[in-house]
Structure 1
Amino acid sequence: MSTKTVLITGTSSGIGLATAVAAARSGWRVIATMRDTAKAGALLAAAEEAGVTVDVRALDVTAPASAESCLAGIDHLDALVNNAGAGHVGTLEQESVEDVRAVMEVNFFGVLHVTKAALPLLRASKGRVLTVTSVGGLIGQPFNEAYCAAKFAVEGFMESLAPVAATAGVSISVVEPGAVASEFVSNVGLADNALEQAGPYAPALSAYLDRTRGAFADAQTPQDVAARMVDLLAAEQPAFRLLTSDAARAFAGTKLKDLDGSTVQALTSAWVA
């Protein structure tokens, strides 16, 4: 087939939207999925402006039946981009285990549902899976306990799956952005009165939020991340790990050479001091 097909999850905004448009501009047939297709307006407008088309379909990554139904309607697939996810800010004492489970459902099990449904098609095409994780999948961050746990889980799962999938001709990669200027930050579910409700954790939360605002003031754009992802889609031998910016590489490097964990603990403790 002359035109390759990629399915991308979470394309209503941010990295997913930018990647869908960039992939279409690079010649891919793009199946752009989202939980609520009524929110496709921004994607369709961006595609029209770029002079490309995308095939918008409904897919709720938290529902296995939705993933199976969506993939069952596809005859051929060369690549899957697991991008759908949701941020979350909170700490264990002040939230329920159900809150944590909800974060895991979107960010971890959602990836598994879609990847499982796609693998038969990807084996047939000798295709590839790109999964957007985060530098938070390598370094645990204050008030991101549930989110980082989910991203750590995705990293471990994909790192373990990669050599097995490779025996069937499917390559696996993880994409690790740092701070990205997108709607993701505004969707973390932090209430307006979060500091008032934080009790003994209020000083630490205040310090963390101040630090985070500074980090996102110089954030990478979704379009920049998307360009790197499209390069990875086209790579003859895609690397397992793609850190999308110099800042992400420097931050991840802290963990990868920190054999006893003390460097990371010193770094992140300063965020809440």
Structure 2
Amino acid sequence: MPGKTVLITGTSTGIGLQTALAAARANWQVIATMRNISKAGALEEAAVAAGVAERIEVRKLDVTDPASVRECLEAVVAEHGTLHALINNAGSGHVGTLETDGVEAARRVMEVNFFGVLNTTSAALPHLRASGGRVLAVSSVGGIVGQPFNEAYCAAKFAVEGYLESLAPVAATVGVGVTLVEPGAVASEFVANVGIPDDRAALAERMGPYAPAMDAYLTRTAGAFAAAQSAQDAAAVVVAALDAEQPPLRVQTSDGARAFVAAKLADPDGAKVIGMTSTWVAS
């Protein structure tokens, strides 16, 4: 889609960085946003190496700050005329449990992973209506299957899934598509940033009576991430959905992710649900 503009949040590392590169290779004009633009070096270097630097613009955007979102969107539309797509990728993880970590930890994760998606999507929708564009959100298999010690993260992703699944048929009536992309384990910096200390003894002290369960969880998770999908492969699925003529409501990024959600979903791409709920808003 040459000449079309996509705004991507959380592009300093991982899936976001790779999605920015892949979208630029697919001839999108990429607005690559991040909360701290001092961390833009890795993306900028990769863009030069890939020969797509002229199609990637780095801008500051904090998804938890509506004023930051509004300022960024206004500048993008003023300079590019409109916006054709939004990819909500920014997120933060948290490993812990309610009794030891409290409600505030969950609130912080929800602020980024759920309300951040709402902040950017609500600001982008008027422009996406005008362009007949689409909203994508990088969710997670954790938005389908709750996972031990990921209570806050999974709750936020469940909320994103429920909100966008509900929004999808409504947005479709005004020409805007909605897609949820669900990765499983991905080899990226995200895992290193979820707050697990290297000192297992300190972690055990923090977890108290939950320490044996946490130790078992970390052992299992290390095995899962040993066979993790690359961020590049996950990003390729995101951009395929971005370019698809009629993308599904849900798309998983790997066979492992599809198998994982299949334990719970009888409608893995969301076609049955959207087929049903779309009739509720048909004029």
TM over 0.5: yes
- Distance in 1 between the 2:217 and 2:240 partners? 34
1:166 aligns with 2:172: yes
Unaligned 5+ runs, structure 2: 268-283
Counterpart amino acid of residue 110 in structure 1: G
Matches of 1:187 and 1:33, distance apart in 2: 19
Counterpart of 1:152 in structure 2: which amino acid?
A: F
Partner AA of 2:34 in structure 1? M
Equivalent residue letter for 2:88: N
Tell whether 2:232 aligns with 1:223. yes
Percent identity of the aligned residues? 68
> When the two structures are aligned, how many residues end up with a matched partner?
258
Residue 52 of structure 2 corresponds to residue 52 of structure 1 = yes
SS in structure 1 of the partner of residue 263 of structure 2: helix
Select 1:151's aligned residue among 147, 157, 161. Answer: 157
Contact 2:22/2:239, CA 8 A, preserved across alignment: yes
Give the equivalent residue in structure 1 for 2:75.
73
Cα distance between partner residues in 2 of 1:114 and 1:62: 9
Query: Corresponding residue for 1:63?
Result: 65
Q: Is the 8 A contact 2:2 2:28 kept in 1?
A: no
Partner secondary structure for residue 153 of structure 1: helix
Partner of 1:266: none
Q: TM-score, normalised by structure 1?
A: 0.93
- Counterpart of 1:123 in structure 2 is 129
Query: Residue type matched to 2:254 in 1?
Result: S
Supply the AA of the counterpart residue of 2:57. Answer: D
Which deviates more, 103-112 or 226-235?
A: 226-235
Partner of 1:99 in structure 2? 105
Unmatched runs of 5 consecutive residues or more in structure 1: 259-273
Tell me how large the CA RMSD over aligned residues is: 1.2
Match of 1:271 in 2: none
Could you tell me the TM-score, scaled by structure 2's length? 0.89
Residues 2, 147 of structure 1: alpha-carbon distance in 2 compared, 3 angstrom cutoff: closer
SS at match of 1:32: strand
CA deviations on 1:127-150 (whole Å, 9 max, x unpaired) are 001100100000000000011000
Q: Secondary structure at the match of 2:237?
A: helix
Partners of 1:95 and 1:196 in 2: how far apart? Answer: 12
SS of the residue corresponding to residue 18 of structure 2 reads: helix
Deviation, 1:96, is: 2.0
Give 1:7-46 correspondences, 5 Å limit.
7-46=7-46
- Residue 265 of structure 2, aligned match among 256, 260, 263: 256
